Amino acid sequence: MILVTRLNGSVFALNPDLIQRVDATPDTVVTLVDGAKFVITEPLADVVDRVMAFRARVVATAHALEEQGPRDVLELHSVPAPADDPSDARAERGADELPAPVPLHRRRS
């Protein structure tokens, strides 16, 4: 994720993998693959630099994972069990295992 600023000053995180294009029309407009558009204060060159730095971090992390293994690069922090999760279910999962991912669904049009 990269951090960018809306014209009203609020900062938000943007997934650079979803960027289709960035236009500099006096304001910088980011268009995502789903058609969503964001007008931001950062100039086009800064957005490009941030995306390149993000991708470089991804590649560097992937390389480190290959070289050192996941335990040395990524620390898995214990996830507190939800109130409805019995403690024995947590024990079955293992202390260092993350819970199952939440299923994603397409947006309705």
- How confident is the model over 2-50, as pLDDT tens digits? 999 999 999 999 999 999 999 998 999 999 999 999 999 999 999 999 9
pTM: 0.61
* Whether the Cβ atoms of residue 73 and residue 91 lie closer than 8 Å to each other: no
* Whether the Cβ atoms of residue 49 and residue 56 lie closer than 8 Å to each other: no
The H or E element spanning position 90 is helix 87-93
State how far the Cα of 56 lies from the Cα of 51, in Å rounded to an integer.
9
